[in-house]
């Protein structure tokens, strides 16, 4: 369609040439990241290890040094507290390992998969357990049967995902709705305010091309900007908690496969497109950017409430919930992260959002020639 690509490129270029927008949407998140990391660095650190320990429960032995890692000594130490009690105490750190030797049929090694030191110590503990068994029991106590060593990761994967599933809709919808509100308010109402919309109205570009060019540019730039905010937010929290550079990359603690990530991205794009349609429609009827932003407040509020309602949703939702705009996206995000995703629900949400977007585009096109827009 003539003009669509031109309008789209012009709108994107306009945003990238506006110093205030560049600062607010791209520089500010980076600055906030630097501030967050800076604050975390001046915070007194309590996790600096002096030594690493393999704690043993159920066997008495002297504290012995079994080697060195990262210029720190590794000790084997026996403990008297029950594993559950000891793990809650301040003595047991994330990088340590606890071996429950009380039941020889099944020896448990508790460690933190997320922590590279703890993972390494787990392997050492496993070898050490087998060595102890050979030395102490093999051939001497035939009645004792050594069966297996079970390594138990103390990172609660399900809980991590549950937390992320709770927060993700909120984390996505808040910056998305705020960004779209700003960009769409600026795109038409802002142009009216500056007197630049008039020239666009007079151009021989079909209204559909002009409207779609604006909607797509708002969608893309809002998604990009929200992605930066969310990405830097996640990176900031990782930097604050990471023990090493290798912890910064990958999604340790967040168990999202590539397919799940792509599904979330696809629905985020759909959501962004829907919001942009609505934002541009509202902007069309407003005389200036401030008025448009105020008019969009109820939409932003409704979206935030939907995301909050989804945060406290437990179990499965009835079918009709997948037809409630915005809320349906939130529950789809949660379904993806909880591995409860069902194809018919996903399809229902995608179709309902696309239908709603098309309806909004039609209303926008009809409104485009209304007197309130052109007078």
Partner 1 sequence: MITIEHLKKTFKKNKVEAVKDVSLEVNDGEIFALLGPNGAGKTTTMRMLSTLLVPTAGRITYDGKDINEDMLSVRRRIAFLTNEIRLDGQFSPDELADYYGRLYEMTEEQIRKNKQELFDYFGITEFSKRRYETFSTGMKQKTSLAICLLHDPDTIIFDEPTNGLDILTQRLIEQYILKLKAAGKCIILSTHILDLVSRLADRVGVIVDGKSVYCGSVSELASSQGVSTIDEAFVKLYEENHEEQAIITKK
- Minimum Å gap between C-beta 271 and partner 1 is 29
Cα dist from 114 to 156, 201, 250, whole Å: 10, 57, 11
Nearer to partner 1, 206 or 227 (CB): 206
- Minimum Å gap between C-beta 246 and partner 1 is 42
Nearer to partner 1, 147 or 372 (CB): 372
- Minimum Å gap between C-beta 14 and partner 1 is 6
- Minimum Å gap between C-beta 297 and partner 1 is 23
Asked whether the beta carbons of 104 and 137 are under 8 A apart, the reply is: yes
Nearer to partner 1, 127 or 370 (CB): 370
> Which pairing describes strands 52-57 and 97-100: parallel, antiparallel, or unpaired?
parallel
Nearer to partner 1, 80 or 375 (CB): 375
> Which pairing describes strands 72-79 and 97-100: parallel, antiparallel, or unpaired?
unpaired
Nearer to partner 1, 157 or 372 (CB): 372
Nearer to partner 1, 6 or 149 (CB): 6
Positive or negative: CA dihedral 151, 154, 160, 163: positive
Residue 8, C-beta contacts closer than 8 angstroms, at least 6 positions apart = 212, 213, 216, 217
Can you point out the beta strands (E) in 225-306?
A: none
Tokens representing residue 125 in the block: 């503990």
Nearer to partner 1, 304 or 367 (CB): 367
- Minimum Å gap between C-beta 373 and partner 1 is 9
Nearer to partner 1, 3 or 169 (CB): 3
- Minimum Å gap between C-beta 285 and partner 1 is 11
Tokens representing residue 69 in the block: 């890692």
Nearer to partner 1, 189 or 337 (CB): 189
Nearer to partner 1, 7 or 289 (CB): 7
CB-facing half-sphere around the CA of 327: CA atoms within 13 A: 17
- Minimum Å gap between C-beta 208 and partner 1 is 11
Q: Is 41 in a helix, a strand, or coil? A: helix
How far apart are alpha carbons 42 and 23 in whole angstroms?
26
- Minimum Å gap between C-beta 20 and partner 1 is 10
Tokens representing residue 15 in the block: 């945003």
Can you point out the beta strands (E) in the chain?
A: 52-57, 64-69, 72-79, 97-100, 106-111, 148-153
* Burial state string for 214-243 with b = 16 or more CB within 10 A and e = fewer than 16: bbbbbbbbbbbbbebbbebbebbebbeeeb
Residue 253, C-beta contacts closer than 8 angstroms, at least 6 positions apart = 114, 155, 160
Cα dist from 274 to 178, 190, 208, 278, 363, whole Å: 14, 20, 16, 6, 13
Asked whether the beta carbons of 367 and 283 are under 8 A apart, the reply is: no
Q: Which residues bind partner 1 (CB under 8 A)?
A: 2-3, 6-7, 10, 13-14, 17-18, 194-196, 198-199, 201-206, 369, 371-372, 374-375
- Minimum Å gap between C-beta 289 and partner 1 is 14
- Minimum Å gap between C-beta 222 and partner 1 is 19
Instruction: Give the residues across from 77 on adjacent strands.
Output: 55
How far apart are alpha carbons 131 and 101 in whole angstroms?
13
């Amino acid at each position: 369609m003539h003009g669509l690509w031109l309008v789209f490129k012009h709108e994107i270029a306009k945003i990238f040439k506006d110093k205030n927008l560049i600062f607010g949407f791209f520089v500010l998140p980076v600055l906030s990241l630097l501030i967050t990391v800076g604050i975390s660095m001046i915070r007194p650190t309590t996790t600096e290890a002096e030594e690493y320990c393999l704690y043993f429960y159920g066997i008495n032995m002297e504290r012995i040094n079994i080697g060195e890692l990262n210029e720190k000594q590794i000790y084997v130490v026996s403990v008297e507290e029950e594993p559950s009690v000891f793990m809650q105490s301040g003595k047991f750190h994330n990088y340590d390992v606890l071996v429950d030797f009380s039941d020889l049929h099944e020896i448990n090694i508790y460690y933190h998969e997320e922590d590279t030191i703890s993972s390494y110590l787990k392997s050492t503990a496993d070898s050490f357990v087998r060595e102890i068994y050979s030395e102490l029991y093999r051939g001497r106590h035939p009645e004792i049967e050594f069966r297996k060593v079970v390594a138990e990761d103390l990172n609660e994967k399900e809980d991590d995902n549950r937390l992320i599933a709770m927060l993700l809709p909120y984390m996505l919808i808040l910056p998305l709705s705020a960004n779209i509100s700003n960009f769409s308010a600026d795109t038409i109402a802002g142009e009216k305010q500056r007197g630049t919309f008039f020239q666009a109205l007079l151009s021989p570009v079909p209204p559909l091309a002009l409207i779609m060019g604006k909607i797509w540019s708002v969608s893309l730039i809002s998604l990009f900007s929200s992605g930066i905010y969310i990405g830097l937010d996640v990176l900031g929290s990782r930097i604050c908690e990471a023990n090493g550079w290798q912890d910064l990359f990958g999604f340790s603690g967040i168990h999202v496969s590539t397919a799940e990530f792509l599904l979330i991205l696809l629905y985020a794009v759909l959501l962004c497109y829907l919001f942009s349609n609505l934002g541009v429609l509202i902007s069309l009827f407003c005389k200036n950017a401030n008025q448009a932003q105020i008019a969009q407040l109820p939409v932003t509020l409704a979206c935030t409430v939907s995301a909050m309602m989804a945060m406290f949703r437990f179990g499965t939702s009835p079918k009709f919930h997948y037809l409630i705009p915005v809320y349906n996206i939130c529950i789809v995000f949660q379904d993806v992260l909880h591995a409860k995703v069902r194809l018919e629900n996903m399809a229902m949400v995608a179709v309902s959002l696309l239908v709603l977007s098309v309806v909004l585009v039609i209303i926008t096109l009809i409104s485009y020639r209304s007197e309130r827009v052109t007078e």
